[in-house]
Copies of this chain bind each other. A is one copy, B any other.
């Protein structure tokens, strides 16, 4: 009964996400978003309710992808859990936790957590952004903790360790590499940091 929209909603939100990643929230104008997405201002306001709406919905889309793909690479049988954790750690540090969404050439800007970057820039004065970012983090903590518990069941990680505490620590390291990467350090250094963190995980103590 009415004219159908000519753009793909997810595709537009993803393009906007890339722009926000590159320039930050306050550093991107609505015209930037318009140029990045190919949509006119009017369409942006009609479909997403302006700049802030675009951000919120882009973060929601990021959350969905995170919730779909991160648990997928971490979940599995107990026996491979430690290796999956290792792989996730390395991939997260280099920005390929969402393999289908990130360009093949691992891009540092794309590596850093979108939610984390937005939370650090405007989370203090934007409760909704902070809440969305916290949700992104929570879903990761849950997935990593579950993988840690699997590794504990398999005898690879000390069963006395608190799985959730370890998950928080590992994800804090990953978020930390986003900042260290922003300092200009190369992939080699980030890999080394991730490997150091992995090496320090409490293994089963063999008396």
Residues of B with C-beta under 8 A to A131: 184
Q: Which parts of A175-193 form the interface with B (CB within 8 Å)?
A: 175-180, 182-185, 189, 192-193
Whether A75 sits at the interface, judged by CB under 8 Å, is: no
How many copies of this protein are present in the complex? 2
Interface residues of A, count at CB 8 A: 48
- With both beta carbons as reference points, the residue of chain B lying nearest to A164 in the complex is identified as B192
Q: Scoring A residues 59 to 79 as 1 if CB is less than 8 Å from chain B, else 0, what string do you get?
A: 000000000000000000000
Question: Are A180's CB and B173's CB within 8 A?
Answer: no
Q: Which parts of A88-143 form the interface with B (CB within 8 Å)?
A: 109, 112-113, 116-117, 119-125, 130-131, 133-134, 137
Q: Is the interface of A mostly helix, strand, loop or mixed?
A: helix
Whether A166 sits at the interface, judged by CB under 8 Å, is: yes
Q: Measured between alpha carbons, how far is A177 from B112 in the docked complex, in Å? A: 15
Residues of B with C-beta under 8 A to A180: 137, 168, 171-172, 175
Please judge, given known A-B contacts A109-B124, A124-B22, A189-B168, whether A119 and B183 are in contact too, CB under 8 Å: yes
Please judge, given known A-B contacts A193-B168, A196-B166, A197-B169, whether A133 and B176 are in contact too, CB under 8 Å: no
Please judge, given known A-B contacts A26-B24, A112-B120, whether A173 and B169 are in contact too, CB under 8 Å: yes
Residues of B with C-beta under 8 A to A137: 180, 183
Q: Which parts of A44-86 form the interface with B (CB within 8 Å)?
A: none
Question: Are A130's CB and B184's CB within 8 A?
Answer: yes
Question: Are B26's CB and A182's CB within 8 A?
Answer: no
Question: Are B182's CB and A27's CB within 8 A?
Answer: no
Q: Measured between alpha carbons, how far is A90 from B201 in the docked complex, in Å? A: 20
Q: Measured between alpha carbons, how far is A202 from B120 in the docked complex, in Å? A: 31
Question: Are A24's CB and B122's CB within 8 A?
Answer: yes
- With both beta carbons as reference points, the residue of chain B lying nearest to A197 in the complex is identified as B169
20 extra interface residue pairs, beta carbon distance < 8 Å, beyond A119-B179, A175-B176, A176-B177: A26-B27, A109-B124, A112-B120, A117-B120, A123-B182, A123-B183, A123-B184, A130-B182, A131-B184, A134-B183, A134-B184, A134-B185, A165-B193, A168-B192, A168-B193, A169-B173, A171-B180, A172-B193, A178-B179, A200-B200
